[in-house]
Amino acid sequence: MGSTTRHGTRSRLGGEPVALARASAPSSPIRQMALALDHDLRPLPPRHVLAGVVHVPNWLGLDAQRQLADDFLAWALPPAGLRHPRVPTGHLMSVQAVCLGWHWYPYMYSRTADDTDGAPVKPLPTSLIRLACAAVANTYGADSAEASAYRPDAAIVNLYPDGAKLGLHQDGEEPSDAPVVTISLGDRCTFRLTGVDRRVGPFTDIDMGSGDLLVFGREHRRIFHGVPKVFTGTAPEGLGLPRGRVSITVRETGFA
């Protein structure tokens, strides 16, 4: 399958590639993460925010966060690297994104970075697949139908530099109803939820910090959600990230 789309429209202009500061460049090429739920992990009890929506503060310890941060710097490099996606109206999104497994751009999936250099999308690391599977098992239960059936094949990794935000939207391009897994790194943020059939209030706001996990699925798989605020300068020291917040959102697309 080459590409798929929900709306069938996209901007005639491409995305805008982003080069991170030289000081942030990784010291090694892309690798498979030897990522584990490490010894400094001190997760707090899961919070069942809404039906099918679970927030786990401190899910990843600092060692695991540093590994993910280092890999983000490698994923961000071209080809098929970090860029500002452009919506069909021509507006550039304030977030910067790089994709793994499948390349997403509003509102389409492809195997190549069609909105920038056209290069093949970087593979989804098996270690990130394992991490996402662990997230679903930890939140819904290892014996749950979701954990048994979950087959993630794509990740959208967003960098929120100073002032960036993400408007309310649905993750609706994927045919799959499998849960969406989001891991937050760096600065704290307000993660906002509304409902599956509305993008107006009342809102359910979650304070997400570095290492936090959020999983949403079941009746709220296609809930409207966004990030209206990132709190600059709140990241733990020594993560090795650029200024701002990084979110790693892993999905099962349902595409062949």
Q: What is the pLDDT of residues 109-130, one digit of tens each?
A: 999 999 999 999 999 999 999 9
Write out the CATH class of domain 44-251: mainly beta
Query: What are the extents of the domains in the chain?
Result: 44-251
pLDDT band at 20 (very low <50, low <70, confident <90, very high): confident
pTM (predicted TM-score): 0.89
E strand or H helix that includes residue 146: helix 145-149
* pLDDT greater at residue 51 or residue 36: 51
Residue with tokens 């304070």: 207
Residue 191: phi and psi, rounded to 5, are -100, 120
55 contact partners, CB below 8 Å, separation of at least 6? 46, 47, 49, 206, 208, 212, 213, 214
pLDDT averaged over the chain? 89
